[in-house]
Amino acid sequence: MFLIGIAGGSGSGKTTFAQKVVNLVASGEVLHLHQDSYYLPTQPQEHFVKGKANFDHPDSFDWPLLRTQLRAIKKGQAIDSPMYDFITETRLGTIQTSGPARVCVFDGIYALWDDEIKSMMDLKIFLHVDADIRFIRRLHRDVKERGRTLDSIIGQYYDTVRPMHRQYLEPTSQFADIMIGEETDIPAEVVASKIKAVLA
């Protein structure tokens, strides 16, 4: 099974890029998996900032479950992945059965963080997009899709998003096989062609 990891800062367009690739391939043998689904049910209090959960720290994710399920996907097995609600900031009681698949496109801010997960990947991608563009995208998304206020988005950006990006996330770009900027149409076509070759 061919595993592709797509990392990048919040608002860099990871999910949009991944979905663009999946749509170009247009095959039921390609699975799209989101790291966002693997946020912990309860965030570790030692990383709270100003009394609020820090969703941008690497420890905010359920790494044991994610490793286990990616191992299963890599072996060609189906998984019951968790589902996360960003409005209530809680893991839902429902699950989503995914796979088996011959190709998995896995996107998330820390897709290139964990050593074991990186070792499973056949292609590692990092989306490098300027901070101002990422912030504007995040602002529009969180207001429209997650019901958040302008003040809460700005506060979270300065308290956790920006410092965690600089300390933990940006350094993972060194592990990427491919670095992609704001323009993603041509890179998406290249990655889709690689997947088509794998499926063939």
End-to-end alpha carbon distance in the chain = 13
Q: Give yes or no for residue 39 having a pLDDT over 90.
A: yes
Contact present, 110 and 61 (Cβ < 8 Å): yes
pLDDT of residue 145: 87
What's 126's DSSP letter? E
State the average pLDDT over residues 37-58. 95
Q: How far apart are CA 60 and CA 39, in angstroms?
A: 6
- The whole-angstrom separation of Cα 20 and Cα 40 is 28
Q: Among residues of the chain, what percentage have pLDDT more than 70?
A: 100
Is it true that the peptide bond before 100 is cis, omega within 30 degrees of 0?
Answer: yes
pLDDT at 87: 84
CB contact at 8 A, 21 and 42: no
Q: Give the global pTM.
A: 0.94
Length, in residues, of the chain: 200
Averaged confidence pLDDT in the chain: 95
Dump pLDDT digits (tens) for 131-186.
999 999 999 999 988 888 999 999 999 999 999 999 999 999 999 999 999 999 99
Query: What is the arithmetic mean of pLDDT over 61-67?
Result: 98
pLDDT at 128 over 90: yes
Helices (H), ranges, 77-173: 115-120, 131-146, 150-156, 162-164
Give the residue, 59 or 96, on which the prediction is more confident.
59
The yes-or-no verdict on residue 58 having pLDDT over 90 is: yes
The pLDDT value recorded for residue 90 is: 86
Euclidean distance between CA atoms 30 and 100, whole angstroms: 9
Residue reference for tokens 């589902």? 83
Structure confidence at residue 147 (pLDDT): 84
Kindly report which listed range (1-15, 103-117, 141-155) carries the lowest average pLDDT score.
141-155
**Number of domains within the chain:** 1
Q: What is the CATH number of the domain that holds 76?
A: 3.40.50.300
**Where in the sequence is the domain holding 32, given as residue range(s)?**
2-199
Mean pLDDT of 59-72: 98
What pLDDT, in 10s, does the model give residues 26-38? Answer: 999 999 999 999 9
**pLDDT (0 to 100) of residue 94:** 83
Give, as one character, the DSSP assignment of residue 39: B
Query: pLDDT-derived band of residue 86, with 50, 70 and 90 as boundaries?
Result: confident
